[in-house]
Structure 1
Amino acid sequence: MKRSHGSGSIQQRGENSWRLRYYVGDARHETTFRGTKKEAETKLRSLLSDADKGVHVAPGKTTLNTWAAEWIALKAAERQHKTVARYEDLLKKHVLPVLGERPLQKIEAIEIKKLYASGMTDLAPRTRHHVATVLKACLHAAVDLKLLQTNPAAIKKPVAADSDVGQALEQDKIVALVEGFRNSTLFDLVFVMSFTGMRRGEALALRWSDFDPEAKTLRIEQALEYTKKYGLRFKEPKSARGKRTINLDDGLVDQLIVMRKLALRVVAGIPDGENVDLSLVRIPTDWLIFPAPDGDMNAPRHPDSVTKQFVNRAEKILGFSIRLHDLRVSHGTWLLDQGVPVHVVAKRLGHDPSVLLRVYAKRTQKGDEAAADTIGQLTRALSKGPK
C-alpha cells in the first residue's frame, strides 16, 4: 500500500549532515544521515521504498548492551538456564566490552570482522566459534523484531577446531583409566559413563527407579545442572532426544546391582558383611544412584566438583590428559569403529545423527580402514593387475 503523507523531506544540519523526515503510515520518523546531499536523497528514497514494501525498520538508538540484555531475558523463557547463562557469559566477556555501547543500528559487518580477527585471538577456536554463533543469533532476533534491517553478524564465522570438541581414547586406554579410579569415590560414576556414553548431568541425575536389572536398562529422564543464578537443579535433558533408555551389558548390570545392594543396606540399616535377605527392602524413589558422598542419598553431587576430581586424578595420578566429556566421545567413537549403525549410536547417546557424523565420525580411523578392506575385496576381483 502506498503512503499518503508525501515523499518526506531533507534538512541540512551541518556540513555533510542531514536530517531526514518521513512518514510510515501515520507515524513520523526522522534520522540523521552523514554524507553528500545526493547520498542523503538516495537514503531517503530507500527508506520510503522500505516503507512501501512493509520492511521498514524505525530508527532507534538502542545499544547492543541494551538489546543483548533484552534478548537474554527472552531466551531465558524458552531455553535451559545453563545454556542461556552461557550465552550471557560469552557476550559479556568477549563482545560487549568492544561493541556494547554502539547503537544497534550502526554496527557494521567490518566491526564484527575486526572483533573476530583481533579481539579474540587468545580464545580457543571452539570458544571463538561459540561467541560468533551467539552474536549472530542475538542480532538475527533483532532483525526478526524489526529493530535491525539486516544482520551485520551474518558473515563467515571463526572455524571450530576439531581438537576442541574432544578426544577419543582406544578401549584399552579407557579400561586402564576406569581401573585407575577403582577405590576412589568416582569409580562407579566413571565406570557407568565410560560404557554408556551419557553426559555428566544425565549420570548425576540418575535415580534407582531408573534402573531395571531385569530388562538390563537405564532410563534417562532428567539432567542435573548448576548455574550461578539458580544453583543446583534438576531439569529436562538437553534435547528431546535426551530422554531415552540405554541398554546395558551384563558387566554394567552386575556393577549396578552391587551398588544397589549397598543402597539397600543403607535403607535397612545393615552394616557391610552381615548376611541378610534384602529382597523385601525397597529403595526410596528419590534416591540417587550417584549421590553426594556425605550420606544424604537424595542430595546430588556438584557437577563442577566431579569434573575437578576426575581431571585431577586422571592427570596427576594416572597420567591421562583427558576431560570427563571425553568418556562420551570415546564411547561414541568406539561404537562407530565397531560398525554400529549411526542411528543406533545417536539414539544411545541422545544425539542428532548429523552432529554425531560431524563430530565423532571424523575421529574414527578403524571404521575407514574396515571400509577400505571391504571395498578392496571387490576391487581385487575386478582389477587387471597381479593376483
Structure 2
Amino acid sequence: MKGSIKQRSEGSYSLIIDLPRDRGEKRKQKWITFRGTKRGAEKELARLLTEMEAGKYVEPSKLTVGRWIDQWIEAGAPGRRRKKVSQRTLERYGQLLRTHVKPVLDNRRLQNLRAPEIDKLYADMADAKLISPRTQHHVHTVFGACLATAHRKGLVAINPMQRVEQIPAPETFDPDEGIDEIGEGLTETELAMLIAGFKPSSIYPIVVLAAATGARRNELLALRWSDLDADKKTLRIERALEQTKKFGIRIKPPKTKRGFRTIDLDDGTIAVLLKAKERHLRLAAGVPDGADVDLALIRLPADALMFPAITVSFTSPRHPRNFSKDFAYRAETLGFGKTRFHDLRGIHSTALLDAGIPVHTVAQRIGDDPAILLRNYTKRKRLKRADQMLSDTIAGLAAGFLNVG
C-alpha cells in the first residue's frame, strides 16, 4: 500500500492513499485532509499506511462520547461475553453514565477521547466527594465496558481506557475508624435481640428467614409457598423481584445460575413459616384466629407468595425499597443504628464461615461467587474482634434468635 502528499494551501495537505484493487479494477484512492506542517503530514501518512496494512484503520467519525453512550445503552449494553443484562442493570448503567460521564464528555468526539481526560474525570469525582468510592468504581467499570465495545466494533483505533491511571478503588477502608461499606456484623446475642424486636411486626417471618438462609431481599420477596417443602426441610429459590422504571415491579428468574438453588432449613425457621402460612389460610377462608377448622381443606392460589404486599390476592409482591426502608427504620428504633436488611446476608455467611463450613458450600447456599464471598468475609473480619465471632451452625444460630423475647 502506497501513499503521497499534495499541498492544498498553506498549512493544509491532502494525504492520498492508493487502496488495494482487484485485477481489472480502476484505480482507487482515499483522500484525507491534514492541517499542520509537511513533516506532520508525512508522519500522519506513515501512521495511516501502517494501520491500514495491519487492518486497524478506523474511518473518521463525528460520533460523540454522549451519542455513543446512548447507542450502547439502547443496544442493551452489549459486552464481550454477549450476555444480556437485566433491565434493572441496564437502567443502572444508563444512570451512572448519564449522571457522571455525559455532563463532562458529552460533546467530545469519541475518536479524539484520550486517557488524560478520563483521568481528570475520575479525579474531579473523587475531589467532589459527592458519591462513594464504590460508586466511582462502578462508573469506571461501566464506562470501561462502553469504550471496550466501541473499540471492539472498530469505532476507535485505540481504547483510551487501557491507558487510564487514576482508576477509582472499589472501596476504602480506614482501620482506625473500623468502618467500610459492607456494614458491621452483630454478635449472636445482638442478632437475637434484633430479630426479637421484629416479633410484633408483619415482616418478622421475612427477617427470620433472611437471618436463617442469607438469601437476598428480592429472592425472599419472590418466594411462593410452593417453594417450601416442610417435610424435607428445604426451600427452593428460583426467582427474584426486579424493580425497573420500564416494567415496574415484576418477578423474574435469578440473575445468574448460582441463584437457582435448594437450601436446608432448621426446625425453628420452618415453624415460623408454617405459622405465617396458617395465618394466610385463615385469612383466605375468613376464619378467625383460634377457631377450630381443618385448614387442610383450604387452598391458596398456586402462585401465592409467602410474603405478599396484601393478603387479598396473595400474589401482589411487596415494594422492595419500601420494605428495606421499613426494616432500617425499625432496626434504628430498636437501637441498632444503620443496620440494613442486606446485612443479615453477610451475618449469615460470616457465621457459617466462622463455624468452619467450607467457602464453596456457603457460597452455594447463599447463591454467590466463592471468590466474592471470601473477599467480603475477609473485609468483615477486619471489622470484628475475636470475641465477637459467631461460631454456631445454622440450627444453633436459628435456635438462639428464635428463643429470645
How far apart are residue 361 of structure 1 and its match?
Answer: 2.9
After superposition, where does 1:119-268 map in structure 2 within 5 Å?
119-120=125-126, 121-122=128-129, 123-154=131-162, 155-156=164-165, 157-161=167-171, 163-268=180-285
Report if the CA contact (8 A) 1:129-1:160 is conserved.
yes
Match of 1:333 in 2: 350
- The amino acid that maps onto 1:168 is G
For the pair 1:40 / 2:57, whether they are aligned, the reply is no
Q: Tell me: CA distance 1:116–1:266, structure 2 relative to 1, closer, same or farther (3 Å).
A: same
CA distance in 1: counterparts of 2:29 and 2:214, whole angstroms:
59
Which residue of 2 is the match for residue 101 of structure 1?
107
Report the residue type matching 2:56 in the other structure.
Answer: V
Q: Deviations over 1:182-204 (max 9, x none)?
A: 21122121111122111111111
The CA distance in 1 between the partners of 2:209 and 2:359, in whole Å, is 21
Q: 1:262 Cα deviation (Å)?
A: 1.3
Q: Which amino acid aligns with 2:309?
A: A
* C-alpha distance 192-45 of structure 1, shift in aligned 2 (>3 A): same
2:97 to 91, 102, 112: 91
CA distance in 2, matches of 1:304, 1:23: 62
AA paired with 2:143? L
What pairs up with 1:47-58 in 2 under 5 angstroms?
47-58=48-59
Aligned to 2:86: 80
Which runs of 5 or more structure 1 residues have no equivalent in the other structure?
Answer: 371-387
Q: Deviations over 1:215-238 (max 9, x none)?
A: 111111111011112111111212
TM-score, scaled to structure 1: 0.87
- Number of corresponding residues: 365
Do the aligned partners of 1:170 and 1:334 also contact (CA within 8 Å) in 2? Answer: no
User: 2:269 and 2:157 mapped to 1: Cα distance?
Assistant: 55
Distance 1:283 1:331, change over 3 A: same
Q: 1:53 to 1:208 in 2, by over 3 A?
A: same
Which structure would you say has the larger RCO, counting Cα contacts within 8 Å and 6 or more residues apart? 2
Aligned to 1:7, the other structure's residue is in SS state: strand
2:161 match: secondary structure: coil
Percent identity between matched residues is 44
Give the CA deviation at 1:149: 1.7
Provide the rounded CA distance (Å) in 1 between the counterparts of 2:371 and 2:269: 28
The corresponding residue for 1:383 is none
Q: AA paired with 1:68? A: I
Q: What is aligned with 1:7?
A: 3
Q: Deviations over 1:271-329 (max 9, x none)?
A: 21101122233332211001004633100001111111112222234342122211111
Give the Cα separation in 2 of the matches to 1:86 and 1:345.
28
TM-score of the superposition, structure 2-length normalised?
0.83
Gap regions ≥5 residues in structure 2: 22-27, 79-83, 173-179, 388-405
Question: How far did residue 24 of structure 1 move?
Answer: 5.6
RMSD: 2.4
In structure 1, C-alpha distance between the alignment counterparts of 2:318 and 2:236, rounded to whole Å: 19
